[in-house]
């Protein structure tokens, strides 16, 4: 992670690098918002691998977090989560805007991500932020029973924004 992070454009909260001491809080939110959450090991491995991992917080709470993996001149958004208490208030949009700004500023030409076809709210957010579908990963996500759910692969080029 680069120590010279761009400042948030949202005065309601700030962003900082995730630390291993954040994992209990992150796991609490992860379990709260996903039926098939990442494990603490997934987050710990991301930190050990040097992925960008960010915590978004206000004076009293963790609002959400994100994990981003760099691939030479592209970033792969692996996890973007907003605590249930802060959802539907524009935090996800502000967090995603910050992540895109940070990636672009640091030389990424694009960002890609996967999203469940059943997650209409996330799809609408990504579409409104310039992401478009570039592929489909069959049976990517765990689902109930033995079923698995496909993933829509989305991408946004940064270009001359």
Which residues are the active-site residues? 114, 126
Please, which residues have CB within 8 angstroms of residue 107's CB and are 6 or more apart in sequence?
73
- Choose among 37, 50, 57, 56: nearest CA to 1: 50
Under the phi-then-psi rule, with left for phi > 0, alpha for psi from -120 to 50, and beta for the rest, what region is 37?
A: beta
Question: Which residue(s) pair with 74 in the sheet?
Answer: 71, 110
DSSP 100-133: HHHHHHTT-SEEEEEE-TT-HHHHHHHHHTT-EE
Q: Are the beta carbons of 150 and 138 closer than 8 angstroms? A: yes
Whether the Cβ atoms of residue 27 and residue 18 lie closer than 8 Å to each other:
no
């Amino acid at each position: 992670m680069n120590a010279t992070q761009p400042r948030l454009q949202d005065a309601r909260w700030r962003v900082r690098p995730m630390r291993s001491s954040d994992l209990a809080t992150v796991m609490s939110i992860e379990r709260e918002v996903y039926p098939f959450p990442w494990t603490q090991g997934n987050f710990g491995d991301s930190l050990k691998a040097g992925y960008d991992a960010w915590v978004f917080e206000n004076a009293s709470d963790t609002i959400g977090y994100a994990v981003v993996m760099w691939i030479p001149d592209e970033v792969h958004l692996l996890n973007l989560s907003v605590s249930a208490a802060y959802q539907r208030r524009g935090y996800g949009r502000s967090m995603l805007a910050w992540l895109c700004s940070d990636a672009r500023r640091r030389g990424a030409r694009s960002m890609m991500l996967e999203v469940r076809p059943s997650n209409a709210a996330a799809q609408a957010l990504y579409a409104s932020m310039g992401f478009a579908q570039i592929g489909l990963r069959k049976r990517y996500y765990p689902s109930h029973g033995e079923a698995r759910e496909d993933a829509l692969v989305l991408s946004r080029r940064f270009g001359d924004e």
